[in-house]
Amino acid sequence: MDKTELKVKTTAMIGAPDREVPDALRTALTSAVDSITQIIEAHLAEVHIPGMIDPAALTLVVIIDADADEGEVLRSIDQALQSAATNPDDLGVWPLLPDDEALPAIRSLGCRINSTG
């Protein structure tokens, strides 16, 4: 899983997915995030960042514990999806901390997928 750093004040357009998310993918993602204790909550959104994520792509937004090792969490997500044989090439993962200012907007989309937290 490649990591891309966003610059401060990067414009990101975030919304609920405008395409049907296959049940197998939704189930695999939910199982993956529910199995990783450092993930507080997770949302499956569609994200477009001009020049970076263009066109818009499905993005798993994970809110991780402030004390968690971000790299370890990302590796765990990748391993869980690989073992489920459901790892679409265009799925991005965006880790956030619980105090991130983008979180209220993401929560308002109504696309939370995990059952814990």
Tens digits of residue pLDDT in 55-93: 888 899 999 999 999 999 999 988 877 766 565 666 888
Domains of the chain: 13-107 (3.30.70.1350)
Say yes or no to pLDDT of 1 above 50: no
60-70: pLDDT as tens digits: 999 999 999 99
Three-point CA angle 49, 113, 60, nearest 5°: 30
Q: Give residue-wise pLDDT tens across range 28-37.
A: 889 889 999 9
